[in-house]
Amino acid sequence: MSTTSALGGVVRRREDPALIQGKGLFVDDVNLHGMLHVAFVRSPFAHAKITSVDTAAAQAMRGVRAVYTADDVRHLGLLPAQAAAVGRPLLADGEVNHMGEAVAMIVAETRAQAQDAVDAVEADYDRLPVVIDLKEALANTNLVHEGVESNTLITWTAPFGMEEDGLNELRAKIDGYKAQDDVVVVSLEMVNQRLIPVAIEPRSVVAEWHAGYQQMTVHSSSQSIGAVASSVAIMLGIPYNQVRGIAPEVGGGFGAKLALYADELLIPWAARELDTPVKYTETRREAASNTIQGRGWLGTATITGTRDGQVLSYEIDAICDLGAYCQDLTVAIPFLGVFVGSGQYAFDTRMQLDCVVTNKQTTDAYRGAGRPEAIYYIERIMDAYSREIGMDPAEVKMKNFIPSESFPGATSPVGFAMDTGDYAMNLQAMLDSPEYGAMKLARDELRSDGKLVGLGMSTYVEACGFGPSALVDLGFSWSGYGQPSAFNGSGLVRVNPDGTANVIIGTGPSGQGHQTTWAQIVSNELGIEMDKIRVTHGDTKDAPVTIGTFGSRSAAVDGSATFEASRKVREKAARIAADLLEASEADIQFADGGAHVAGSPDKRVEWAAIAEVAYQPHRMPGGEEGGLEAHAIFSPGNATWPFGSVACLVTVDPDTGDVSIEDWVSMDDCGNVINPMIVDGQIHGGIAQGVGQALFEEAIYDDEGNLLTAGLIDYPMVTAVDVPSFNLSRTTTPTDVNPMGVKGIGEAGTIGAAQTLVNAVVDALAPLGVKHVDMPMRPRRVWQAIQDAKASA
């Protein structure tokens, strides 16, 4: 059906027909004539000197075209990154710093030949002491990098911008609270464990060099194809416009396909060296050990408050695991935790996040990136405090929220300006919802049956929709990749001579449905039918700025740019239509594929008629220039701050420790919604990833630095039987930092989820005396917590 779409309407996704018929194009589907294949020789050790790498035998093998080591690629420099205190060599250079680090690269005629040749490369190592434990890393017992005198690369503190004197005063103030009569101090050391992002599509890169045109084409399964293209251009010493970066379908990203990877440079480099197309697709094992990991905090959270639920202060001291090298935004990820600070609350807050290097794979952005960690600690300790004073957690929250009167323009206790919010309204909406009422009834029923049953609750706020140009000054931009623009949005809207429209955007999906949502934005503004709007993304030849999809930014930032570009086109079209219809420009309205005069739907011109004038400039009214297109760059005034309330009901099997989720309720507020179906889908998936962290997932390195969870058998993922259907509802508090009032929803589900489950399990086990269970709450750990509680009872 050919219709125009209003914002807020459900439209089936335009990307689906190809994907449900197996006709989508993913990078590994790209197959070029004569294409060579790559496999990497990887370090079996977490920390060692490389004494020799002998490639002669591998080079002599059938089908092998080249074997490269650090000696061949050293001149290309380190892997570019935005905040690289310790950068990564493209191939290990004299030393390896985590298991799986690439030592040599083999290019062969088939993938099997390349993989066979891996075993023929003889590398010798002298092992060095490994740094795995975070407290040992902080103590500098051993150093990860020779010449870097401390494993702690940076310490983030909050309130943001407060100097040491101020922090000392704050410490003294909080000590004063603790010394008061009748206060309780609740403190817990908790792990927010390392995770492997696990997009189901492994990363893949295909590069082709056209020597005649000096043109490089790079296909990569990337969330930020602009960063890939500009970095390749710099490395190859050619201008940006001689590199075309293409991210076709991207099979899930979750932050892990945001960072730039060494293979995204090495594959194009080899393609030019060999003047032949080259492909590399990582194995699942490589995806586990060499694609970035997430989280990895060990922290102590402390609440000081009165016995009647008034919190006086919140403190968190945490060690954050950076892994071996800085890639992309590695050191900045914990800083995103500083952004959200103590969440939605108005009390004094002090944070100290020591960011340490270890002999493990790099950590970087994984769905939520710093914000799930920060919200986990505040929401777990708020729950523990509520339990300690015997008050309903919802009541304690209501007492301590930043009041709605502070918005718009509230400043968080850690010093950040927030856009809009009404936390009490949102929590009350969840408490009043029939779904939550049913959950409470079910809890009481199960409890009376003698089951171990718990109801857990969490609220959350996040900072997303990055972002304002000025973030460049805080180190958030892609300038490290030669992209001078900050995290601005880009949208280009062109109405063609036949009245159809092309929309070219600076961001691209990895499942978020940009083709549908962006067509809705343009259709809503211009009244052009959905099926006459074509959205192009993920191709650097088309878009001047391609920052990408991350930090729940696409709709709020690039969507806003597209909205503004549409508006510019509409204004020009209105002048043409007014001239054609002999009406006032102010009376022109757009709907159903054309323009009409307000109140006179018969006085109407189609878009093709308007475009005809635009492409015959001599007919343009007032001598205006021809053409009917506009480009907009959008820099929002602030990040956006979505928020919400979440509750779940669990039962725990006392004999096995197995946790079962019986019911789930979420009340999210992401401002205005463009497509409710897509927004709901984002929340569903986000919740499941939070459930995965809470119940199953953990990247486990042993004492020697071996990754023990490098396959999906050892890294249990959430399956369909592990989650219930979710009950989603919304409140709507539009942001004032962009024209559509949208806040972003990609990460909210995850940010609200994990602690909700832990709070529920602790609620179930509290009668036994359990105060905390660390994630992942696998059956054995829960069972052990039950046994320990029984033993000490």
Range 674-733, binding another protein (CB under 8 A) = 676-678, 680-681, 684-689, 691, 711-713, 717-721, 723, 725-726, 728-730, 732
User: By three-state DSSP, how is residue 743 classified?
Assistant: coil
Considering only residues 340, 610, 648, 673, which one is a binding residue for another protein as defined by CB under 8 A? Answer: 673
Sign of CA dihedral 546, 549, 550, 551: positive
**Choice between 80 and 685, CB closer to another protein:** 685
**Choice between 179 and 721, CB closer to another protein:** 721
Stretch of 85-93, 243-251, 533-541, 586-594 lying at the interface with another protein (CB under 8 A): 243-251
**Choice between 301 and 505, CB closer to another protein:** 505
Pairwise CA distance, residues 716 & 748, whole Å: 23
Shortest distance in whole angstroms from residue 785 CB to another protein: 27
Shortest distance in whole angstroms from residue 164 CB to another protein: 43
**Choice between 150 and 732, CB closer to another protein:** 732
Considering only residues 70, 73, 250, 650, which one is a binding residue for another protein as defined by CB under 8 A? Answer: 250
Considering only residues 3, 12, 166, 616, which one is a binding residue for another protein as defined by CB under 8 A? Answer: 12
Task: Kindly state the DSSP code that residue 51 receives in the 8-state scheme.
Answer: E
Pairwise CA distance, residues 248 & 252, whole Å: 12
Considering only residues 40, 254, 376, 423, which one is a binding residue for another protein as defined by CB under 8 A? Answer: 254
- Nearest partner of 383 among 758, 789, 767, 663, judged by Cα: 758
Shortest distance in whole angstroms from residue 206 CB to another protein: 13
Neighbours of 619 (CB within 10 A): 13
- Residue 62 binds another protein, judged by CB under 8 A: no
Backbone angles phi, psi at 374, to 5 degrees: -60, -45
Shortest distance in whole angstroms from residue 538 CB to another protein: 13
Pairwise CA distance, residues 588 & 499, whole Å: 17
Element (H, E) at 184: strand 183-192
Of 741-760, which residues contact another protein (CB under 8 A)?
Answer: 749
**Choice between 463 and 667, CB closer to another protein:** 667
Token pair 């795995």: residue: 132
**Amino acid sitting at position 740:** M
**Choice between 545 and 728, CB closer to another protein:** 728
Per-residue x/- marks for another protein, 288-327, CB under 8 A? Answer: ----------------------------------------
User: By three-state DSSP, how is residue 265 classified?
Assistant: helix
**Amino acid sitting at position 118:** V
- Nearest partner of 458 among 775, 778, 750, 254, judged by Cα: 750
Burial readout 66-99 (b: 16 or more C-beta within 10 A, e: otherwise): bbbbbebbeebebbbbbbbbbebbbbbbebbbbb
**Choice between 350 and 514, CB closer to another protein:** 514
Burial of 732 (0-12, 13-18, 19+ CB in 10 A): middle
Between the alpha carbon of residue 86 and those of residues 144, 146, 151, 330, 356, the distances in Å are 10, 11, 10, 10, 11
Shortest distance in whole angstroms from residue 251 CB to another protein: 3
Considering only residues 2, 23, 582, 703, which one is a binding residue for another protein as defined by CB under 8 A? Answer: 23
Answer for the pair 621, 575: CB distance below 8 angstroms, yes or no.
yes
Considering only residues 101, 208, 249, 422, which one is a binding residue for another protein as defined by CB under 8 A? Answer: 249
Pairwise CA distance, residues 31 & 34, whole Å: 9
**Choice between 8 and 601, CB closer to another protein:** 8
**Choice between 536 and 672, CB closer to another protein:** 672
**Choice between 448 and 725, CB closer to another protein:** 725
Pairwise CA distance, residues 343 & 409, whole Å: 16
Shortest distance in whole angstroms from residue 201 CB to another protein: 4
Of 502-531, which residues contact another protein (CB under 8 A)?
Answer: 509-513
Of 160-219, which residues contact another protein (CB under 8 A)?
Answer: 198-202
- Edge to edge, what strands does the sheet with 629-634 contain? 533-536, 501-505, 489-495, 629-634
**Choice between 112 and 441, CB closer to another protein:** 112
- Nearest partner of 204 among 279, 113, 258, judged by Cα: 279
**Choice between 57 and 723, CB closer to another protein:** 723
Of 452-511, which residues contact another protein (CB under 8 A)?
Answer: 509-511
DSSP H helices in 200-240: 225-236
Shortest distance in whole angstroms from residue 17 CB to another protein: 7
Of 103-142, which residues contact another protein (CB under 8 A)?
Answer: 112
**Choice between 197 and 370, CB closer to another protein:** 197
**Choice between 757 and 765, CB closer to another protein:** 757
* Beta partners for residue 535, in sequence order: 503
**Amino acid sitting at position 564:** E
Shortest distance in whole angstroms from residue 353 CB to another protein: 28
Number of residues lying near another protein (CB under 8 A): 71
Stretch of 129-137, 281-289, 644-652, 696-704 lying at the interface with another protein (CB under 8 A): 281-289
User: By three-state DSSP, how is residue 420 classified?
Assistant: coil
Considering only residues 63, 87, 252, 779, which one is a binding residue for another protein as defined by CB under 8 A? Answer: 252
- Residue 39 binds another protein, judged by CB under 8 A: no
Answer for the pair 453, 649: CB distance below 8 angstroms, yes or no.
yes
Of 358-417, which residues contact another protein (CB under 8 A)?
Answer: none
Distance, CA of 157 to chain centre = 23
Considering only residues 59, 428, 469, 672, which one is a binding residue for another protein as defined by CB under 8 A? Answer: 672
| DSSP string over 536-604 | E-SBTTT-S----S-TT-IIIIIIHHHHHHHHHHHHHHHHHHHHHHTS-GGGEEEETTEEEETTEEEEE
Shortest distance in whole angstroms from residue 197 CB to another protein: 8
- Residue 29 binds another protein, judged by CB under 8 A: yes
